[in-house]
Amino acid sequence: MKANALLGLLLALPAAALADQAREQITTDKFDNCARDRFVCAGADSAGARLAHSWLLATEEGVTSKHPQPLSPSNQIKKVFDIPLSECDKAVLCIFRGGGSPDNPMRIQFNDRMILHDAKHLTAGDSGWEYEPLPPELIRKGTNTLIFSGTGDIPLDTRSPNRGSAVSYDGGRLWHPAPGEYMVRLRIFGYPPEGTLTSEVFDTALGVDPKRLIGPWPRYERAVIEADKDAPPETEIAFQWRAGTTRRFSPENWTPWQDGTEVKLAGARYVQWRAILQTSNGAKTPLLKGVHLRLLQKTAPIPAEASDLQVMRYDRPEDAPESYEFTYEGRTPRIRYLADKYKLAAVPPADGTDLVKTDAIRFWCSHQWNKGWDDGKYEYCPPWDALILLDMKPPDLCLGMCTHYSTVYVQSSTALGYISKHVILDGHLVAETYLNDLGQWAIQDTGPGPGPTGFPIGVHYEANGIPLNALEMHRLLLASGTALAIPEKAEGEPAVTVATGTHLSPSASPYREKLNLYSCFGIPLRNNHLSVPEPAEEEHGFGYFHYNGYLWWADNPDNPLQTVSHFSLLSNRPADFYPKVNQTWIDLEQKEKRVLAVALSNHMPNFSQYEARVDNGEWKKSEGASVWPLHPGTNTFAARSVNTFGVPGPLSVVEIVAPN
């Protein structure tokens, strides 16, 4: 049924029925909980969701930059971009370590226009990338050809397949296919042709009446997606939907995505929609202001919830979908070998908070090196592999820098059941770990920093006694705030305040970290480098980071900072960097007057099993579905998820008072 036909049906209903139907809808007019690809902007203004006014064209992944192609009048290279839309406000060419000066510039022929590139005045911060602004009239729809000559050199990424790059050694008379792609990217400041916004998973039972905590729940046969939108000519918004029986999507329990706004629930409890925003004109975008998911054809009335049960506590963990899939390291043979060989289980104290334990892991990892930033005997930059690093660095056979310190921490803490990831900063690399007991992510900066005896010293950061993540540090920088850098107690050093613009020299402090490092940050979308080395950037930031598979924070995706503008994956959505992992949900449904059915679900990487306990009794393994007989007085049910490393996640608790 189309939306206008539905409207006619509703107008024909009696007033009481119409009011009932109006209540049975789930409305989304804030899109914070919606996942989105890099082509959609939401949260930048109060109007809603639209296409982002900036996007990047890249034909290479930036895996390696070890193969520079020198330029001269005779040595020339060709780069081709296929641009789907020509309309834009401006464009910027991003060149990795190109070169050129006012007296001896790089010459760039962009279609029919010659541009003289001076690297000294067009460098994108300390990133290794150089920018060349382009007037919008140069951009053509379809094939755009660039020819580089003159002076300088442009690296060839030999690990990316050729998509049109070519080289000439005779001034452009003969062209030869390049064995890869040259590291040149193009940022367009206009709207891309398409972007996708994906809703959170809606519980049709709780979505209608969020105060209702105990089932049975209503079931609906269908629903209709109604959009409040503004779609000018040459733009449109199309919808798709899927429905399932589990709280989080799983292909075996959900339908595939289906086109249209008529949703066939067929009794499925959970539903999700996605909006596909499209334009054929780079100067125009559709605008999505709100979405109403109207639930129809209730299959049965909602039975009255037992009025004599008092719900005193019902933990309902947050859940928002991530826009980008993150691949987690499992309990693989190499991660087990790392834990066994270095007896990692004995590193953190048996008792203490997650922060205390991860501080101890960080301290152990940092102090495996005698000194930081030394090339070692063989001048070798190892990959992100803790087993190689711990074998080669203590005898000073290879380089040890911040990426390697953090790699050993990420993989060692993972081997102990924590969820950790790398975080790339402006000229530094740290780690973040999810603290189960606090339900938040926290930085672990492993160094290296010159300690009193030459050993590296690491820190975590706090504000008002709360450990901080990279986004919080970034926001402190923007607000000219301060943070406290706190070393592990075994390091014997006091906490140090770091502030905007400060640079704590080794002579004044054991810390070289500063708040300015958090002007930008990004993450690899996986932490399984120990078992799956590739795809990855060669030497991981030994010179500069240039791999195009990292996800970067952007305060304004329409106009990203130069430090991240040469990367494709940008997001200003915190849930994309800080998912609420390890959570357990408890669903209750009344079967008899004093008996509740319990169903558990989770969002835990490397999930192994559930554990549950009743009335503070012993923890017992649970299959995820059970019954809970209630007794007079206070009844407590607690559940948690346990991963394959044997580490439990945070508790979810329900407390109900039943009368005598």
Tens of pLDDT along 255-275?
999 999 999 998 899 999 999
Who contacts 295 (Cβ-Cβ below 8 Å, separation ≥6)? 24, 25, 26, 204, 208, 220, 223, 265
pTM for the whole structure: 0.92
pLDDT tens track for 173-188: 999 999 999 999 999 9
Look-up: residue for tokens 């690399």?
A: 429
Position 201 scores a pLDDT of 95
Is 489's pLDDT higher than 60?
Answer: yes
Strand, coil or helix: what is 558?
coil
Amino acid at 152: G
Task: List, in sequence order, every beta strand (DSSP E) within 53-183.
Answer: 55-57, 68-70, 76-83, 90-96, 106-110, 113-117, 129-134, 142-149, 153-157, 166-168, 176-177, 181-182
Position 301 scores a pLDDT of 61
Distance of alpha carbon 408 from alpha carbon 214, whole angstroms:
46
Domains, the chain, in order of start with CATH, read: 3-53+193-305 (2.60.120), 55-189 (2.60.120), 333-576 (no CATH), 583-658 (2.60.40.10)
Position 15 scores a pLDDT of 38
DSSP calls for 479-509: TT-EEEEE--GGG----EEEETT----TTT-
- Residue 507's pLDDT band (boundaries 50, 70, 90)? very low
Using an 8 Å Cβ cutoff, are 63 and 547 in contact? yes
Look-up: residue for tokens 């900036």?
A: 54
- Residue 400's pLDDT band (boundaries 50, 70, 90)? confident
Low-confidence winner among 446-455, 480-489, 596-605 (lowest mean pLDDT): 446-455
Is 452's pLDDT higher than 80?
Answer: no
Long-range contacts of 436-439 (CB under 8 A, 24+ apart): 436/354, 436/582, 436/647, 436/648, 436/649, 436/650, 437/353, 437/354, 437/650, 438/353, 438/354, 438/355, 438/467, 439/580, 439/650
Helices (H) and strands (E) in the chain, counts: 8, 44
Using an 8 Å Cβ cutoff, are 530 and 385 in contact? yes
Q: Of 357, 364, 314, nearest to 338 (Cα)?
A: 364
Position 29 scores a pLDDT of 86
Using an 8 Å Cβ cutoff, are 543 and 127 in contact? no
Low-confidence winner among 381-385, 443-447, 503-507, 550-554 (lowest mean pLDDT): 503-507
pLDDT tens track for 554-606: 999 999 988 899 999 999 999 999 999 999 999 999 888 889 999 999 999 99
Position 292 scores a pLDDT of 95
pLDDT tens track for 187-230: 999 999 999 999 999 998 876 666 778 888 888 999 999 999 99
Position 219 scores a pLDDT of 85
Distance of alpha carbon 124 from alpha carbon 653, whole angstroms:
50
Write out the two tokens for 39: 């082509």
Distance of alpha carbon 294 from alpha carbon 458, whole angstroms:
53
Instruction: Report how far apart, in Å, the C-alpha atoms of 103 and of each of 119, 120, 342 are.
Output: 11, 11, 57
Low-confidence winner among 281-290, 361-370, 506-515, 620-629 (lowest mean pLDDT): 506-515
| Partners of residue 109 on adjacent β-strands | 114, 147
- Residue 16's pLDDT band (boundaries 50, 70, 90)? very low
Write out the two tokens for 615: 């009335």
pLDDT tens track for 279-317: 999 999 999 999 999 999 887 666 655 567 899 999 989
Write out the two tokens for 183: 């590291």
pLDDT tens track for 373-388: 777 788 888 899 999 9
Low-confidence winner among 124-133, 250-259, 268-277 (lowest mean pLDDT): 124-133
What pairing do the DSSP bridges indicate for beta strands 202-203 and 270-279? antiparallel
Distance of alpha carbon 526 from alpha carbon 523, whole angstroms:
8
Position 124 scores a pLDDT of 57
Low-confidence winner among 317-326, 497-506, 633-642 (lowest mean pLDDT): 497-506
Look-up: residue for tokens 């949260």?
A: 43
Look-up: residue for tokens 């006014």?
A: 53
Position 80 scores a pLDDT of 97
598's enclosing H/E stretch is: strand 595-603
pLDDT tens track for 29-88: 889 899 999 999 997 555 899 999 999 999 999 999 999 999 999 999 999 999 999 999
Share of the chain above pLDDT 70, in %: 90
Q: Of 354, 359, 317, nearest to 579 (Cα)?
A: 317
Position 528 scores a pLDDT of 98
Position 100 scores a pLDDT of 87
State the average pLDDT over residues 544-553.
94
State the average pLDDT over residues 526-533.
96
Position 454 scores a pLDDT of 42
Who contacts 398 (Cβ-Cβ below 8 Å, separation ≥6)? 375, 376, 377, 378, 380, 381, 382, 389, 392
Instruction: Report how far apart, in Å, the C-alpha atoms of 93 and of each of 68, 307, 337, 589 are.
Output: 18, 66, 46, 59
Q: Of 468, 504, 502, 501, nearest to 483 (Cα)?
A: 468
What pairing do the DSSP bridges indicate for beta strands 551-553 and 570-571? parallel
Is 141's pLDDT higher than 70?
Answer: yes
Is 236's pLDDT higher than 70?
Answer: yes
Distance of alpha carbon 163 from alpha carbon 157, whole angstroms:
12
Helix, strand, coil percentages for the chain (3-state, nearest 5): 15, 35, 50
Is 336's pLDDT higher than 80?
Answer: yes
Position 313 scores a pLDDT of 95
Amino acid at 649: G
State the average pLDDT over residues 454-471.
85
